[in-house]
């Protein structure tokens, strides 16, 4: 049974807000709805940006409609006359999702996804369970619309663990002439099978992005999205003229108030903004927003991308042999450890489908659902690709320029979908040939591209034990199809070594 530990009396002396909200376009005839109770004004303002919130959502719920119950408190009751603090919270924090009853309880935190319960708690953890029950998919994926020079449109969904360039890809400015990119979603995709394919909807209404590292070079679209204002910033630094600043935005001002509220100068040894500080802004302000972000039917997905951060082993771009092979690629998605604090440097940090923190049910059953969806969808399912923007040379420099140049890899993916280009069959799958990556207008050594695409079976052999251990760790419910794919990969690696 559940208890109400901590909640009884937790909002005393505060305002309780009742926030009805809709996930995805409000025009959806069968919408997914929710109501969040909260004592945080920050949450209310964030929910107004991140969801379709308010009267329209309440009307959709109606007299006795179905909705997800979300309960949140910062856990900081106020006695009469007691002065409030700048950031009320409680040292004791917990977030509990109840998949069977579709409820979310969050206590003690006032921050981000811990408190904005429509975000990961609903859109992934609860929705992944709904999706399994109802035969669709809730995935941690961006949705990108691409238009080629002839005006033909393509849609790509992509899963990347954190710090692997997901937001930058969602808001990419293509460097190849004639290609246009628009963002449908930067974080979450709800995908449903229709007559002619798998369609994706972005259940969110805004971007909740990491601020540090965002600038006019790395992500000009994100910066332009914030230009009109109407943006909620969390834990960034404040300039003397009331503007915001964070690391890598540009040259640091002479004086700032840091995220702790203390004076900060460029001589300070601490960071001015928290490394996970955020901007929260409506999609409608984004200059590259695709109008389809507000279409409840969604966009037809042509390709699904998986990408981790690997300095070695994984080539720049490879197409999976088929859906089940792609499911195994997603199941084994990983990044290399980058710092000693994260564990053994060189060991793999696994994040299946970039969903490790967000699966609402057993990981093996989740992979089974992927296999089942592939069976149900058959040839309606999109092609699956594995990408790696982060391959390094022997001198440790990046072999691929990344950012807007990733549009060249997207062009190759589109060429594969259209059957316009061959590939070389490697242990990984159908890997691109260096001469097929369009380098027009790029002052770049094709030898670097060759190295970025290289597949060394000995490197893959080195990963096999780690990957086997990980699939075993995921438990006895990992589908036999995934193990069959793993055995086939092992066979290919052994034959090639």
Catalytic machinery residues: 164
Angle at 446 between CA 405 and CA 180, to 5 degrees: 20
**SS3 state of residue 253:** coil
Give the number of other CB atoms < 10 A from CB of residue 231.
17
* Rounded Cα–Cα distance for residues 236 and 259 (Å): 5
* Rounded Cα–Cα distance for residues 470 and 480 (Å): 15
Residues 6+ apart with CB under 8 A from 442: 175, 401, 405, 408
Q: Which of 1, 57, 48 is nearest to 25 (CA)?
A: 57
What DSSP element (H or E) covers 244? Answer: strand 244-245
As beta bridge partners, residue 156 has 144, 303
Cα–Cα separations (whole angstroms), residue 249 to 46, 222, 484: 23, 12, 47
* Rounded Cα–Cα distance for residues 425 and 492 (Å): 11
Between strands 244-245 and 263-264, the pairing is unpaired
Q: Which of 109, 162, 173 is nearest to 140 (CA)?
A: 162
Q: Are 446 and 299 in contact (CB under 8 A)?
A: no
Q: Are 35 and 20 in contact (CB under 8 A)?
A: yes
Residue for token digits 């999976």? 320
Give the number of other CB atoms < 10 A from CB of residue 130.
17
Q: In 321-362, where does DSSP find H-type helix?
A: 323-331
82-85 long-range CB contacts below 8 Å, 24 or more apart? Answer: 82/13
* Rounded Cα–Cα distance for residues 21 and 65 (Å): 13
Q: Per 3-state DSSP, what percentage of the chain is helix, strand, and coil (rounded to 5)?
A: 30, 25, 45
């Amino acid at each position: 049974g559940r208890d109400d530990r901590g909640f009884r009396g937790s909002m005393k002396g505060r305002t309780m807000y009742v926030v009805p909200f809709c996930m995805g376009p409000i025009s959806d005839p069968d919408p997914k709805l929710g109501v969040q109770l909260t004592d945080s004004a920050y949450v209310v303002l964030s929910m107004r940006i991140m969801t379709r919130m308010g009267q329209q959502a309440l009307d959709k719920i109606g007299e006795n409609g179905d909705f997800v119950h979300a309960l949140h408190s910062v856990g900081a009751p106020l006695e009469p006359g007691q002065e409030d603090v700048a950031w009320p919270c409680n040292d004791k924090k917990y977030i509990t999702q109840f998949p069977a009853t579709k409820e979310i309880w969050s206590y003690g935190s006032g921050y981000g996804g811990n408190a904005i319960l429509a975000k990961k708690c609903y859109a992934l953890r609860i929705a992944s369970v709904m999706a399994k029950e109802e035969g669709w998919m809730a995935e941690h994926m961006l949705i990108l619309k691409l238009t080629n020079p002839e005006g033909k449109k393509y849609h790509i969904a992509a899963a990347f663990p954190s710090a692997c360039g997901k937001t930058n890809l969602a808001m990419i400015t293509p460097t190849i002439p004639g290609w246009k990119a628009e963002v449908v979603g930067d974080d979450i995709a709800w995908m449903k099978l229709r007559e002619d394919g798998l369609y994706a909807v972005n259940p969110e209404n805004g971007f909740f992005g990491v601020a540090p590292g965002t600038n006019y070079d790395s992500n000009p679209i994100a910066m332009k999205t914030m230009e009109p204002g109407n943006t909620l910033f969390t834990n960034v630094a404040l300039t003397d003229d009331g503007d915001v600043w964070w690391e890598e935005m540009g040259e640091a001002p002479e004086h700032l108030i840091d995220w702790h509220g203390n004076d900060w100068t460029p001589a300070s040894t601490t960071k001015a903004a928290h490394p996970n500080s955020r901007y929260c802004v409506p999609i409608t302000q984004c200059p590259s927003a695709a109008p389809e972000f507000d279409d409840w039917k969604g966009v037809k997905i042509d390709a699904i991308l998986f990408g981790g951060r690997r300095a070695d082993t994984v080539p720049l771009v490879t197409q999976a042999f088929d859906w089940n092979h792609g499911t195994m690629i997603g199941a084994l998605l990983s990044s290399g450890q980058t710092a000693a604090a994260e564990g053994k440097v060189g060991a793999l940090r696994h994040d299946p489908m970039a969903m490790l923190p967000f699966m609402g049910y057993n990981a093996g059953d989740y992979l089974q659902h992927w296999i089942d969806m592939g069976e149900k969808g058959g040839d309606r399912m999109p092609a699956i690709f594995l990408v790696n923007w982060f391959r390094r040379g022997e001198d440790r420099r990046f072999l691929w320029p990344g950012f807007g140049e990733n549009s060249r890899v997207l062009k190759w993916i589109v060429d594969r979908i259209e059957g316009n280009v061959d590939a070389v069959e490697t242990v990984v799958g159908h890997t691109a040939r260096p001469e097929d990556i369009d380098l027009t207008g790029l002052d770049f050594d094709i030898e670097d591209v060759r190295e970025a695409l290289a597949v060394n079976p000995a490197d893959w052999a080195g990963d096999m034990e780690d990957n086997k251990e990980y699939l075993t760790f995921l438990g006895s419910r990992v589908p036999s199809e995934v193990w069959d794919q793993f055995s086939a990969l092992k066979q290919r690696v052994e034959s090639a070594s």
